[in-house]
Amino acid sequence: MSASPENGVVILVKGLVSAFGDNLVHDGLDLEVRRGEILGVVGGSGSGKSVLLNTLLGLKEPDGGTIQILNAPASLDGPGRRDALKGRIGVLFQGGALFSSLCVRDNVGAPLREHTRLSALMIDRLSDMKTAMTGLGTEVGDMAPSDLSGGMRKRASLARALALDPELLFLDEPTAGLDPIGADGFDQLILGLRDALGLTVVMVTHDLDSLYATTDRVAVLADRKIVAIAPVAELERSTQPWIHTYFLGPRSRAAGHFAQPKA
């Protein structure tokens, strides 16, 4: 099977091997991401979540196996994959990674300036529109990242990730550092944008509330592989030790008990 929107698979990873010298991070990892879903990725510290994300983005070259994203050939290396997928994927990095020297409008417009020939006026208008889509007011456009709250920086970073109308959105710990109300608002924003824009979302997170509130399936990284990929309700019945502890511990039971139905 190839990864393409036509057959419902947008990411297909087969036999991925990732290593740093003698440190083997992934060994024969398989992963399939379906079009239109929100897929959570969880795992213990050092399990390779960030390495997997960087490899999918073409920032790290795999040491073995194949990766196919959308309809880009699996044979492409990291730079080739990035070129083939230019404008088709968006990324929200964990810290937001906004340019401190630029205002929000210019941050959001940076991908448009880099990858399009639109006029400066059109880029500013599109930047304001993308910013508004994330729930921020137009006055935020002139503000510096340092003048924003943590939640506002997350939303501004998300607006930049959406600047080129991507099909596939990667989120790295999107609710980290947010208070419960802010995190819930961000969860609902992701659900709304997925439905409105037809996005496929891959989300690395430790936030149990987000997993319950937003994900269609969750992929569990352990023992250098994806040991399970299923809806949270199925993972709660797993006997695999790490999954059992993670999804049936006190915090998970509380998150599951108070989980709200998806919007």
Summarize pLDDT for 174-218 with one digit per residue, the tens.
Answer: 999 899 999 999 999 999 999 999 999 999 998 999 999 999 999
Degrees to nearest 5, angle at CA 79 with 76 and 83? 85
Q: If you write DSSP's letter for every residue of 74-128 in order, what string do you get?
A: TT--HHHHHHHTTTTEEEE-TT----TTS-HHHHHHHHHHHH----HHHHHHHHH
CB-based contact 17:83 (threshold 8 Å): no
Which domain-ending residue is among 143, 165, 187? 165
CATH code, 230: 3.40.50.300
Q: Say what the pLDDT of residue 138 is.
A: 86
Joined tokens for residue 215: 């994900």
Is pLDDT at 173 greater than 60 in this prediction?
yes
- The answer on 84 and 102 residing in a single domain is no
- The answer on 177 and 217 residing in a single domain is yes
Which domain-ending residue is among 131, 165, 199? 165
Q: Is residue 93 part of a domain?
A: no
Q: Rg of the chain's alpha carbons, rounded to an integer?
A: 18
Q: Say what the pLDDT of residue 131 is.
A: 97
- The answer on 59 and 148 residing in a single domain is no
Q: Say what the pLDDT of residue 260 is.
A: 52
Is pLDDT at 254 greater than 80 in this prediction?
no
CB-based contact 33:229 (threshold 8 Å): no
- The answer on 185 and 153 residing in a single domain is no
Please tell me the total count of domains within the chain: 2
- The answer on 175 and 161 residing in a single domain is no
Buried b (16+ CB within 10 A) or exposed e, 199-224: bbbbbbbbbbbbbbbbbbbbbbbbeb
Question: Residues 37-60: what's their mean pLDDT?
Answer: 92
- The answer on 76 and 40 residing in a single domain is yes
- The answer on 182 and 142 residing in a single domain is no
Is pLDDT at 251 greater than 80 in this prediction?
no
- Which secondary-structure segment (H or E) carries 9? strand 9-20
- The answer on 170 and 158 residing in a single domain is no
Q: Which residues constitute the domain of residue 206?
A: 5-88+166-258
Q: Is residue 249 part of a domain?
A: yes
- The answer on 103 and 79 residing in a single domain is no
- The answer on 183 and 153 residing in a single domain is no
- The answer on 105 and 39 residing in a single domain is no
Which domain-ending residue is among 165, 191, 206? 165
Contacts of 156 (CB under 8 A, 6+ apart): 96, 98, 104, 107, 108, 131, 134, 136, 140, 145, 148
Q: Say what the pLDDT of residue 262 is.
A: 57
- pLDDT, one tens digit per residue, over 81-108 is 777 788 899 999 887 889 999 999 999 9
Q: Is residue 201 part of a domain?
A: yes
